[in-house]
Amino acid sequence: MELHHEFTVPVPVDDAWTALLDIERVAPCMPGASVEEYDGKTVTGSVKVKVGPITVTYKGTAVFEEQDDAAHRMVLVASGRETRGQGTARATVTGTLTEQDGGTAVSVRTDLTVTGRPAQFGRGVMAEVGDRIIGQFAQCLAEKLAVAPDTASTDAEEPLDLLRTTGVPVARRFAPVVVAAVVMVLVGLRIRRWRRR
């Protein structure tokens, strides 16, 4: 599926470009993301996604396939796999920055493919979740750009809580999945206790 998001940050385009390429600085702004290693081109890390009582962790890599300093355009290809499951996620993210009234307009196009449990939520839910995540990212990035890099806080990463992020209307769509998962866990626990007897 294809997703498109736009946001602005209150700094000149060259400053925004430099900040967005500073992975260690901006990674804490992405909900649930954790960077383990970055060699200047490839990022290795994980993303935690929480849906009610269930937390799914994806581990993988993201590679900068393009970094055009003159055009302020980047292409990032990311792929990951569930650490406890068969689900996968792959995204090609194209970001373009343009000067706008002394600030910077950021356009992000994402070609996303997801398999496993999150895939059943559909495009509508994924787009809504994407909107909320990009909104949180843009606000955090603007705050980080307003302070010097050495004074910016580095909060510990927490799982991206989809129910809290999307709010009640979308949370209702998740409810059957969450209930089914809880029932499966409870049944599994009962079977284990029965076998021990």
The 10s digit of each residue's pLDDT in 86-133 is 888 888 889 999 999 889 999 988 888 888 866 676 677 767 777 777
CB neighbour list of residue 56: distance below 8 Å, 6 or more residues apart: 48, 49, 50, 82, 84, 85, 87, 116, 117, 118
Q: What are the φ and ψ backbone dihedral angles of 125, each rounded to 5 degrees?
A: -65, -45
Name the 3-class secondary structure at 154: coil
Q: Concatenate the DSSP letters of all residues of 67-88 into one string.
A: EETTTTEEEEEEEEEETTSS-E
Give residue-wise pLDDT tens across range 20-48.
888 877 878 877 888 899 888 888 999 88
Cβ atoms of 128 and 174 closer than 8 Å: no
DSSP state of 101: T
Q: What is the pTM of this model?
A: 0.68
Residue, of 2 and 189, whose pLDDT is higher: 2
